[in-house]
Amino acid sequence: MKIGVSTLALYPQPLEVVLECLEERNIDYCEIINEYPYHEIEDGLLDSHQIKLTVHSPLSDINLASHNQSIRNSSIEEVKKSMDRAVAWNADLVVVHPGSMPIMGRKIEEKILKYNLESLTECSRYARDIGIYMCVENMPVIESLLYQDLNELNSLVEEIDAYMTLDVGHAHNSGFPSSDMFEYPLIKHVHLSDNDGTFDQHNALGTGSIDFDLLFKSIDESRYDGVLMVEVKDPQDVARSLDFIEKML
């Protein structure tokens, strides 16, 4: 099983420190959230490490569903930049958040959803053209975030010819049981964290109410062969989660 760790918990430590910490734990994959200070990588840094990368497009200040066309176009360009960097860094997968409903967009929901679809379609086409996988992530239960429902996200990625990042914590927060999370054939990437079901807490695995026994059984039965990316909020939760996974396996 391929195990990785997101830079989320280790932000904003220098990337060299992050990679060294992960290699000390014999972790093979790191997911770089591609915004400051990880928006660029020094020449030669990756050559001095064996760890493989996936890329998460920026989280801050972008909205692929914005009805402000300057913001929407800039958001598309930021996602494309992450894809270009993925190619340069020998990563073949980029995680993308769908857009969100703007405050002034609630009365024109149909138009916002149309903009979101157009943006994601353009990004998906770009990913195919440069030879990487675009994986759209399901969102947690937070007002304005689109695609909190796995069934809706599955329909979206089918329509735009892309793939899914299954965020287990988000799915649990949205009410999906562990037994149902791996029913979607376009899952190509997985984020792991834990919560108590009430909020997207990004806590250490085994500290919330997610049934990981059932989840790992579902992973085996689905023959999922991608990376299980630990995406928790604190450094100590990384170690605790990795220890938890080792016991599960």
Crossing angle of the two packed helices 69-88 and 109-130, in degrees rounded to 10: 20
pLDDT greater than 90 at residue 176: yes
Tokens representing 66?
A: 């914005």
Closest to 156 in 3D by CA, of 74, 98, 111: 98
Residue type, 41: I
- How far CA 22 is from CA of 47, 62, 191, in Å, comes to 15, 29, 17
Choose between 249 and 129: higher pLDDT.
129
Determine the distance from the C-alpha atom of residue 199 to the mean position of all C-alpha atoms in its chain, rounded to a whole number.
17
pLDDT of residue 98: 97
Which value, in Å, is the radius of gyration of the alpha carbons in the chain? 17
pLDDT greater than 90 at residue 43: no
Residue type, 83: M
pLDDT greater than 90 at residue 26: yes
Interatomic CA distance for residues 53 and 9, integer angstroms: 16
Q: What is the mean pLDDT of the chain?
A: 97
User: What is the tens place of the pLDDT at every residue in 188-225?
Assistant: 999 999 999 999 999 999 999 999 999 999 999 999 99
pLDDT of residue 1: 87
